[in-house]
Amino acid sequence: MPGIEEFVPVNKPELTDKERFLIDRADKIMQRNDSLLKKAKSEIQNEYRYLSGKAQTIGLHEIKIYVDYYYDSTEKKWIRPSVENCIATMMMVTKSGFFLHQDKDSTIRIRKYMYHIPETKTKRLFFDNGYSQVVSGNPEKVPLDSIKVFPYKLVFQIPHNKIIDYRKELKNAVINKDYSTVRKVLKKMDNYCARNPFFKHAIYWRHLNMLDVLLQDYSDSDRYGISYDIQYVECYDDSLEQVIKREFDAYIQSGAFEKDLSKENDLVKRAVARILANNGLHDSDEDTREGRNDIVQSYLDSIPDFEQREFLVKKYWNRHEMHPFYIYFSMMFGATRYVGRLGDRIRPGFGGGGAFGGGNNVMSLDIFLQGYFWSSYDKKAASSRCFKNRNMKDYEFDAMDIGVEMTYKWLVTKRFEGGIYAGPTFNMSEVVKRKWDKDAPRNENEPSLEVAPGVDVGLSFSLFEAFNRKDVERMFKPDLYQGGRFGGRLRIGMSTQKAKESFDVWGWKGYITLEVMLRAHLTTRNEPFLWD
């Protein structure tokens, strides 16, 4: 049973002579491959660069096999090994991917190489070049002449790429305006690519749309569903795309397209024709997508059948908007006014803070820190016990809130958001000396420090820079945080404040803050089509 298989690193210390020989052999295989590439025809070179770019590995493979029996060629019989000798090691050079090979007639062709090691839970006979089907019991009872051997190494000859011939045939047909032949060649190419495991369609979908316009094929035959090898087109040097583009541009600019289209009575086919022509006229995906959307909208009111209108929207309308989920970071500054019994003792204070969080057009979750400092005292504060035998003019009142709040947005437009928020907080308050006396005890410099749970409630009003359609299309495939927006937020609220130790009160402070915000939408999404 095969047990452990792994690649042997070429820099493995203390390589055996056999391992070194096999690694040198692997190097020579690659050198031989590079030499054949230089001598190959340009068509083979182009195809090889395309195919080998998909996956290509070569290395020394070490396979360890758990042995129940081994064949002694000297004594010509099967022997059950001891426990110490029950693991056999086999080394082989393995190739995976596409490599060049020179046949006896000196023709250089492409081959695909693979290898297969059977699964570990099956019992088989292993040879130098392959393995048998699954066997059971004592191998002496297995008739060796009936054993079928499967190779470890699998080799497939890559056939001639008929796409080369089809493209040349297609080019001549387009130049001669032999559009009946164009249809036949496209059909043959489709059938060939459907059967061939190595080569896919090698014409840009935009140029296939141009051919549909030239053929006046306005049916639902756009080729978005077919898989194309865009990179592979670059391997051809037959200028097919340039020929198709030249004939297409001449057909559009001469007015023949509009003349032929006027004969089409089916409005859906007219819309599809203009969409296909639009795909050929624009080089950028953004312009192509936006033009397609405009064409769909311009035809909807003229098509009475709802199913046909729905077909156009589902297949061709594709506008994007920023995804409503966002994350944000903000810096804030503001002021507070203590109310009730707190207001009798503490005057207004100023401060700042910051927040971060995320949300969408309905709710958001915020984590914030805001503090108000350097508040002075009214006369009534002098009777508080923390100022007993102290001059209250030497002290100030500081407050800080750390909290989490949930915001419900009762109004959302393109630029503006209005919300109501509430959440739990931890409130800190302290009476602290303006100028600390280093020689004085701590309770002299800081006679009161209190931390208590609380709540925070209020209203928020946000104004942001708006995304326009071009911004969204530009970010159709965005990188992280590419959709950043600047804005501001005004918060008007109240939070609890405990000052029992200092003033024997627990009350509220009203505040107003102004924040500068940076908001990041992480991606875009399909904008839903709004039917009238």
C-beta of residue 68 within 8 angstroms of C-beta of residue 87: no
C-beta of residue 358 within 8 angstroms of C-beta of residue 326: yes
pLDDT value of position 97: 85
Greater confidence (516 vs 106) lies with: 516
| pLDDT at 6 exceeding the cut of 70 | no
C-beta of residue 155 within 8 angstroms of C-beta of residue 112: yes
Rounded Cα–Cα distance for residues 175 and 245 (Å): 11
Model confidence at 24, pLDDT cuts 50, 70, 90, reads: confident
Rounded Cα–Cα distance for residues 109 and 47 (Å): 10
Delimit the domains of the chain by residue range.
2-157, 162-318, 326-526
How does DSSP classify residue 14? S
End-to-end CA distance of the chain: 69
In the sheet that 87-102 helps form, which strands lie side by side, from edge to edge? 2-7, 56-66, 87-102, 108-115, 153-157
Rounded Cα–Cα distance for residues 223 and 225 (Å): 5
- Count CB neighbours of 256 within 10 A: 12
pLDDT value of position 4: 41
Region 267-273: mean pLDDT is: 88
> What is the number of alpha carbons within 13 Å of residue 453 lying toward its C-beta?
3
Greater confidence (139 vs 433) lies with: 433
- Count CB neighbours of 507 within 10 A: 19
Q: 3-class SS at 452?
A: strand
pLDDT value of position 73: 83
| pLDDT at 243 exceeding the cut of 90 | yes
Q: 3-class SS at 347?
A: coil
Model confidence at 458, pLDDT cuts 50, 70, 90, reads: very high
Q: Name the amino acid, one letter, at 218.
A: Y
| pLDDT at 153 exceeding the cut of 80 | yes
Greater confidence (234 vs 435) lies with: 435
Residues 6+ apart with CB under 8 A from 270: 218, 261, 264, 299
Rounded Cα–Cα distance for residues 461 and 463 (Å): 7
| pLDDT at 108 exceeding the cut of 70 | yes
Region 287-310: mean pLDDT is: 84
| pLDDT at 284 exceeding the cut of 80 | no
Each residue's pLDDT tens digit, 158-168: 888 888 888 88
Each residue's pLDDT tens digit, 190-239: 888 888 777 777 788 888 889 989 998 887 555 544 555 555 666 677 78
Is residue 518 left, alpha or beta, with left meaning phi > 0 and alpha meaning psi from -120 to 50?
beta
In this structure, of 236-250, 276-290, 331-345, the range with the lowest mean pLDDT score is 276-290
pLDDT value of position 283: 76
| Long-range Cβ contacts of 150-155 (<8 Å, 24+ apart) | 150/116, 152/92, 152/94, 152/115, 152/116, 152/117, 153/94, 153/95, 153/113, 153/114, 153/115, 153/129, 154/113, 154/114, 154/115, 154/116, 155/111, 155/112, 155/113, 155/114
In whole numbers, what is the pLDDT of the chain averaged over residues? 84
How does DSSP classify residue 380? G
- Count CB neighbours of 46 within 10 A: 18
pLDDT value of position 279: 85
C-beta of residue 122 within 8 angstroms of C-beta of residue 134: yes
pLDDT value of position 94: 81
Rounded Cα–Cα distance for residues 156 and 47 (Å): 15
Closest CA to 425 of 493, 377, 512: 493
Q: Which two tokens stand for residue 122?
A: 């099956």
* Helix H or strand E encompassing 174: helix 162-175
Residue written as token pair 């796409």: 163
Residues 6+ apart with CB under 8 A from 469: 290, 319
Angle, CA of 215, 220 and 222, to the nearest 5°: 70
Residue written as token pair 């089509």: 529
Rounded Cα–Cα distance for residues 262 and 424 (Å): 68
Q: Domain spanning 326-526 has what CATH number?
A: 2.40.160.20
**pTM to 2 decimal places:** 0.58
Cα–Cα separations (whole angstroms), residue 114 to 110, 111, 155, 178, 393? 13, 10, 6, 43, 87
Rounded Cα–Cα distance for residues 501 and 304 (Å): 77
Rounded Cα–Cα distance for residues 384 and 393 (Å): 13
Q: 3-class SS at 268?
A: helix
Rounded Cα–Cα distance for residues 161 and 51 (Å): 12
